A = this chain, B = another copy of it.
């Protein structure tokens, strides 16, 4: 996955999960790029996606802010975003000849691995 899509996606998800709140300022393009060690253009692309999206409001000179009118998503919306990933592992796992239990187990293991890292 391209960096800028990942970035935008993470911001959207953080908003959806209410970790980033309405009206809150986003870090400047330069700072975020520096702290992530990536190219400024890549951050710009991500912010553009988020603005087209309505997730964020940007104004030249003032900075970028989490949009007021699109607070966290409803649970149904969040589920709509989760579902493609669930479908993908279901399809690929089945195709690879795994049983449902094995697939579920693999997911559980990754979830635990995430906990450990955190």
Q: A: which residues have CB within 8 A of B?
A: 9-10, 12-14, 16-19, 72-74, 76-79, 81-83, 85-98, 100, 103-104, 106-111, 113-114
Contact = CB atoms under 8 A, between A and B. Distances in A.
A8 to B, nearest CB: 11
A100 B111 contact: yes
A14 B96 CA distance: 7
Task: Give how many copies assemble into the complex.
Answer: 4
A-side interface mostly: helix
27 contacts: A16-B96, A17-B95, A19-B97, A72-B97, A74-B74, A74-B77, A76-B77, A78-B97, A82-B89, A82-B98, A83-B106, A85-B93, A86-B89, A86-B103, A86-B107, A86-B109, A87-B110, A88-B89, A89-B89, A89-B110, A90-B107, A90-B110, A90-B114, A94-B111, A100-B111, A103-B107, A103-B111
